[in-house]
């Protein structure tokens, strides 16, 4: 009889969404799912994941914002200004689109 191997949660690697955000399509799908949650803090964290996927220095240059300001605005639980959200979206090549609620 085979012994079951027990896996402890603490032994699992931490999930990092940034590793999967390789192109605009993946980024757009991620943002669409996050926006459906209606949670500003979650949106900030997702934008932070996207910025880290592209490189925070590159994002700072592309958005015209300081790296430190991006880190603060895009941390989990933050409430970034719409201007910051729009700049990050433009820098990664996605746009926010409204559609009728069903």
What does the pLDDT look like over 48-94, one tens digit per residue? 999 999 999 999 999 999 999 999 999 888 889 999 999 999 998 89
Confirm whether 38 is domain-assigned: yes
Confirm whether 10 is domain-assigned: no
Confirm whether 3 is domain-assigned: no
pTM: 0.80
Q: Which residue has the tokens 């079951």?
A: 4
Asked if residue 64 lies in contact with residue 87, where contact means CB atoms within 8 angstroms, the answer is yes
Identify the domain containing residue 59 by its residue range.
Answer: 25-92
Confirm whether 4 is domain-assigned: no
């Amino acid at each position: 009889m085979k012994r079951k191997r027990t896996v402890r949660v603490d032994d699992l690697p931490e999930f990092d969404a940034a590793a999967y955000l390789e192109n605009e399509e993946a980024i757009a799908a991620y943002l669409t799912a996050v926006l459906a949650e209606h949670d500003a803090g979650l949106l900030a964290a997702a934008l932070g994941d996207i910025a880290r996927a592209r490189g925070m220095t590159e994002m700072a240059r592309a958005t015209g914002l300081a790296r430190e300001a991006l880190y603060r605005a895009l941390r989990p639980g933050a409430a970034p200004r719409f201007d910051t959200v729009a700049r990050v979206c433009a820098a990664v090549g996605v746009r926010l689109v409204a559609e009728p609620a069903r």
